[in-house]
Chain A
Amino acid sequence: MSVPRYWRNMPKREKLESKKCEKCGHVDFPPRARCLKCGSDALIPYTLPDRGKLTSFTIVRSAPKGFEKMTPYVLGVVELIDRTLITVQITDVDPSDVAIGMPLESVFRKVCEDGDCGIIEYAIKFRPAV
């Protein structure tokens, strides 16, 4: 990811900042220009909650470029306590211990590095609640 693109995405990647529809209350993540449920463009800033539960997951053993040394790792769909669904990496867990319904909490973690000289990218992941 280019430095400007990473920088532009920091609010949603590092702080889960999104938008909530003022008309129907729906939350999209990542944020959209219009509500995906009712089409309204009356959106207000909204920060997603930091807790939820795992609703689906997959274990990545053949990773895309930049993530090869992290395998195996878990990608999951987390239903947050406000019912918003987000796709996110699950960390601090052995893939064999992952289970649907496990309570999770958000955590600020390193995602990847642009080699030895580039920037370090951070984002929110989820882990089993402490």
Chain B
Amino acid sequence: MLPLIDVCIAGWGSYIPLYRITVEEIAKVWGKSAKHFKDELLIDEKAIAGQDEDVSTIAVEAAKNALRRACISPKRLGAVFVGSESKPYAVKPTGTIVAEAIDATPRVLAADLEFACKAGTECLQCCTGLVGSGMIEYGMAIGADTAQGAPADALEFSAGCGGTALIVGQKKKTKDPVATLEGSVSYVTDTPDFWRRPKKEYPSHAEAFTGEPAYFTHTVSASKMLFEELSLKPSDFKHAVFHQPNGKFPIRAAKYLGFKREQIDAGLLVPSIGNLYSGSSITGFSAVLDVAKPGDRIFLVSFGSGAGSDAFSFTVDDGILAKRDLAPTVERYIERKKNVDYAIYAKYRRKIVV
């Protein structure tokens, strides 16, 4: 897919909460071994939202950081999309909360999207369409989650909190474009690998079925479709970012496609913050923008259960250098941390029912 008008990333910003819990701490409570999660799934600890945080607050901080880097008035945003599977309200848009908090209201389109872990890049596709057709000047795409994992379930070891906002603009009208979109594809099928039914607190999953027919089929297929459409190959990219439910999956998918380990390192965040679900792949992308150089080509592919993948190719522009230091980097947020024990984690994540 290619928009009629060239679009670019005009600004980017992320947010990772302060608190962390290690896989050892979770394993200790449930009598499990941390070794599997550390050595095979490559997760050391995960980020958890504080008691006064939710997807709205995470999205607002990421959005403010993106606006700082975009150097535009929030009134120029024509759309604010929030992708999440942990909306604070079942009915009431997170998009309006974010749009109001960043002062983008009232002349703005605001909506929430859900597609398991793929909702962040869905927002990016929507913004690309609106900006690339000339309907709006700038659009904000946010992927954020306070991911749920049932106590003792494998997901509890990886489900993290955090998110990223990307501001998409028309390249010709954007001062100091950060990265230009070369093209994108979306690949979806009805594959029930992971789901959460209404009124249920925690998601369910089909165990190993989440791997081969779900994550790998969709991620690899979308990637190959994009390479074919743009006549590109893995070696043409400086950086590659994959959805990161754990460390094992993206490394294996990257290797299968022909990427080298050094191409995915900058965007591989799951060992230190866990799986940010809707925020996972785009926060990896944000971390890559924090270090990328003008001329670099970046590959981004998401995955959302249910299932589908969006794949993108960007080339980095000179404007990235002027904007990088205008907001905290992902690395800065990862360094800023405080580890808590399971009791505090259970309180913060509302696992204690009073």
Taking Cβ atoms with an 8 Å cutoff, the residues of A that contact B are: 10, 14-15, 69-70, 91-92, 94, 107-111, 120, 122, 125, 130
Taking Cβ atoms with an 8 Å cutoff, the residues of B that contact A are: 18, 50-54, 56-57, 60-61, 64, 88-89, 97, 100-101, 103, 328, 332-333, 336, 338, 347, 354
Provided the pairs A15-B103, A130-B333, A130-B336 are in contact, do residues A110 and B328 lie with their beta carbons within 8 angstroms?
A: no
| Contact indicator A122/B103 (Cβ below 8 Å) | no
A25: min CB distance to chain B, Å: 23
Chain B residues within an 8 Å CB radius of A110:
52-54, 56-57
Chain A residues within an 8 Å CB radius of B338:
94
Chain A residues within an 8 Å CB radius of B336:
130
Provided the pairs A120-B89, A130-B332, A130-B336 are in contact, do residues A92 and B57 lie with their beta carbons within 8 angstroms?
A: no
Among B56, B328, B332, the residue within 8 A (CB) of A122 is B56
Cα–Cα distance between A17 and B35 once the two chains are bound (Å) = 51
Among B52, B64, B333, the residue within 8 A (CB) of A111 is B52
B75: min CB distance to chain A, Å: 13
B218: min CB distance to chain A, Å: 34
| Contact indicator B60/A108 (Cβ below 8 Å) | yes
Cα–Cα distance between A70 and B61 once the two chains are bound (Å) = 21
| Contact indicator A107/B61 (Cβ below 8 Å) | yes
| Contact indicator B100/A10 (Cβ below 8 Å) | yes
Cα–Cα distance between A94 and B53 once the two chains are bound (Å) = 16
Among B18, B57, B354, the residue within 8 A (CB) of A108 is B57
Cα–Cα distance between A70 and B333 once the two chains are bound (Å) = 24
B149: min CB distance to chain A, Å: 21
Cα–Cα distance between A47 and B347 once the two chains are bound (Å) = 35
| Contact indicator B51/A70 (Cβ below 8 Å) | yes
Top 3 nearest A-B pairs (CB, nearest first) are A108-B60, A109-B52, A110-B52
Cα–Cα distance between A107 and B60 once the two chains are bound (Å) = 9
Q: Which residue of B lies closest to A47 (CB)?
A: B103
A69: min CB distance to chain B, Å: 7
Chain B residues within an 8 Å CB radius of A69:
51, 347, 354
Q: Which residue of A lies closest to B17 (CB)?
A: A92
| Contact indicator A109/B101 (Cβ below 8 Å) | no
| Contact indicator B101/A108 (Cβ below 8 Å) | yes
Chain A residues within an 8 Å CB radius of B57:
107-110, 122
B309: min CB distance to chain A, Å: 31
Chain A residues within an 8 Å CB radius of B60:
108
Chain A residues within an 8 Å CB radius of B53:
109-110
| Contact indicator B61/A120 (Cβ below 8 Å) | no
Q: Which residue of B lies closest to A108 (CB)?
A: B60
| Contact indicator B52/A130 (Cβ below 8 Å) | no
Cα–Cα distance between A57 and B54 once the two chains are bound (Å) = 26
Chain A residues within an 8 Å CB radius of B18:
92
B213: min CB distance to chain A, Å: 37
Chain B residues within an 8 Å CB radius of A109:
52-53, 57
Cα–Cα distance between A10 and B283 once the two chains are bound (Å) = 29
Q: Which residue of A lies closest to B59 (CB)?
A: A108
Among B52, B54, B64, the residue within 8 A (CB) of A70 is B52
A94: min CB distance to chain B, Å: 8
Among B52, B64, B101, B333, the residue within 8 A (CB) of A125 is B52
Provided the pairs A109-B57, A122-B101, A130-B333 are in contact, do residues A92 and B50 lie with their beta carbons within 8 angstroms?
A: yes
| Contact indicator B52/A120 (Cβ below 8 Å) | no
Of the listed residues B57, B88, B103, B332, the one surrounded by the most CB atoms of chain A closer than 10 A to its CB is B57
Of the listed residues A15, A111, A130, the one surrounded by the most CB atoms of chain B closer than 10 A to its CB is A130
Cα–Cα distance between A108 and B18 once the two chains are bound (Å) = 14
Cα–Cα distance between A15 and B97 once the two chains are bound (Å) = 12
| Contact indicator B54/A120 (Cβ below 8 Å) | yes
Cα–Cα distance between A15 and B103 once the two chains are bound (Å) = 8
Cα–Cα distance between A36 and B338 once the two chains are bound (Å) = 42
B336: min CB distance to chain A, Å: 6
Chain A residues within an 8 Å CB radius of B332:
130
| Contact indicator B328/A130 (Cβ below 8 Å) | yes
Chain B residues within an 8 Å CB radius of A70:
51-52
| Contact indicator B88/A120 (Cβ below 8 Å) | yes
A47: min CB distance to chain B, Å: 9
Q: Which residue of B lies closest to A15 (CB)?
A: B103
Q: Which residue of B lies closest to A91 (CB)?
A: B52
Chain B residues within an 8 Å CB radius of A125:
52
Q: Which residue of A lies closest to B97 (CB)?
A: A122
B49: min CB distance to chain A, Å: 10
Chain A residues within an 8 Å CB radius of B88:
120
Cα–Cα distance between A17 and B200 once the two chains are bound (Å) = 39
